[in-house]
Homo-oligomer: A and B are copies of this chain.
Amino acid sequence: MTDTRENTRRTVFFVSDRTGITAETLGHSLLTQFDGIDFRPVTVPFIGSKDKAETVAQRINETAAAEGVRPLVFSTLITDECREVIQAADGMYLDFFDAFIGPLEKELDKSSSHAAGRAHGVFDAETYTRRIDAMNYALANDDGVSTRHYDRAEVILVGVSRSGKTPTCLYLALHYGVYAANYPLTEDDLEDGMLPKSLKTHKDKLFGLTIDPKRLQDIRQERRPDSHYASVRQVNYEVREAEILFRRYGIPFLNTTTSSVEEIATTVIHSAGLQRRFY
């Protein structure tokens, strides 16, 4: 009897001495290229000792035995001691450092430090402070609550309610340490077709978000069913006027309808020429 499970289901281990975010990010990018396989992800972070690595190796072996097919193992382990243990387990071992560190050492004419815990998301007091500060800034300057601190903003997102401003600002803050404020265009702004003075002063920092009216209606309907706010007419009006206003003032803008938070944030950063810090 042939076991066909191997073509449809596969357990995937992401093994890391730190958070596992790098291993997940890279592994996920690769796995999305394979359709029709049900990947079962298991992230095992903080594998910083041989003992812990041995526990993971055992889990890999047990999974292989139970499922009749060896799991995939994406590793960002740095220490040889831990890597050897995982590599010896019954999985398909894919090592992100192995593949590139050798060529890089040659190119840079330098040995790598082989030091653990340097990858993505490792504590550093200065960057931690900047990110948290940027987050506090985003929260304090969310939704037009305050327009007094726009001097400090690196970018000010402008758009109608529920066009994606708040998640983008928080993502920019937490991920990139960018100071991002946001201002919701009010009915008054839209009727006048004019930017409020607080925004005009900072015109160069403005970036507009717009959205497909149908999608916006769905989002608002979920939030306040059958309200004026969620009506087709109101939504169409707001989106149309907001886009007219963006064009009138030459504000760059993005339609967020089919964009992820990452994509919106990336577009904002590049459009606004902001520094893309990496934490």
A residues touching B (Cβ–Cβ < 8 Å)?
6-7, 10, 18-22, 24-26, 28-30, 32-37, 41, 43, 45-46, 72, 76, 78, 92, 94, 96-97, 99-101, 103-104, 107-110, 112-115, 118-124, 128, 131-132, 135, 139, 164, 166-167, 170-171, 174, 258-263, 265-267, 270, 276, 278-279
Give the nearest-CB partner of A223 in chain B.
B136
Of A21, A33, A258, A279, the most chain B CB neighbours within 10 A belong to A33
Interface CB pairs A-B, < 8 A, 14: A7-B108, A22-B29, A25-B120, A26-B26, A29-B96, A30-B104, A33-B113, A92-B103, A92-B107, A94-B104, A99-B100, A121-B262, A122-B262, A174-B261
Of A29, A72, A94, A278, the most chain B CB neighbours within 10 A belong to A29
Number of this chain's copies in the assembly equals 2
Closest 5 interchain pairs by CB? Answer: A121-B262, A32-B118, A33-B112, A29-B119, A19-B266
Interface residue from B43, B94, B96, B112 paired with A26 (Cβ < 8 Å): B96
Q: Are B28 and A119 in contact (CB under 8 A)?
A: yes
Q: Are A21 and B109 in contact (CB under 8 A)?
A: no
Of A20, A35, A108, A110, the most chain B CB neighbours within 10 A belong to A108
Q: Are A167 and B29 CB-contacts (below 8 A) given A7-B109, A123-B259?
A: no
Q: Are B108 and A34 in contact (CB under 8 A)?
A: yes
Smallest beta-carbon distance A209→chain B, Å: 13
In the docked arrangement, what's the CA distance between A37 and B20, Å? 25
Interface residue from B25, B119, B171, B276 paired with A22 (Cβ < 8 Å): B25
Q: Are A101 and B261 CB-contacts (below 8 A) given A108-B10, A132-B167?
A: no
Q: Are A20 and B263 CB-contacts (below 8 A) given A28-B120, A96-B29, A109-B7?
A: no
Q: Are A24 and B261 in contact (CB under 8 A)?
A: no
Residues on B with beta carbons closer than 8 Å to the beta carbon of A110: 7, 34, 36-37
Residues on B with beta carbons closer than 8 Å to the beta carbon of A25: 21-22, 25-26, 120
Residues on B with beta carbons closer than 8 Å to the beta carbon of A100: 26, 30, 94, 99
Smallest beta-carbon distance A156→chain B, Å: 19
In the docked arrangement, what's the CA distance between A267 and B48, Å? 14
A25-B25, A33-B118, A34-B108 known; 12 other A-B pairs, CB under 8 Å? A20-B266, A25-B26, A29-B120, A32-B118, A33-B114, A36-B110, A94-B103, A121-B261, A121-B262, A128-B260, A128-B261, A170-B174
